[in-house]
Structure 1
């Protein structure tokens, strides 16, 4: 479904109520604004942005790569093990 959002004074964007309800966006919540490669703009909840970042990291490092694995690798690089 396509929605329209209005830009009001100060560059504020009014997000349609139905979308806010579906995504659980409440007054005062933080949204991440991302400029797409096609030149558009994408709004995401903070949770969606974190999940997208985690998915990118899994694609690069694999699903089993952990902080402990990273630290172990760095310590080996620094000669600490």
Structure 2
């Protein structure tokens, strides 16, 4: 198909992983909530209170012009905030 490229989601995430443009994910982690930068295994922080982790994710995403991606208890995306 003309105009079609191979820059799908995997390429998008690979290009952003570990950079300042990476998105910030709030994910469940052993009964707590963790904040992770896209493409990195190490957590930025982990807390019992999801709202604190969400606030930090939003602050970082706004600072770097990326997204805060909030997951639910099952790990599914429940909200995405783009800056």
Q: TM-score range by the shorter chain?
A: under 0.3
Q: Which has the larger radius of gyration?
A: 1
TM-score scaled by length of structure 1: 0.27
Task: Compare the two structures and name the one with the higher helix fraction.
Answer: 1
Structure ranking higher in strand proportion: 2
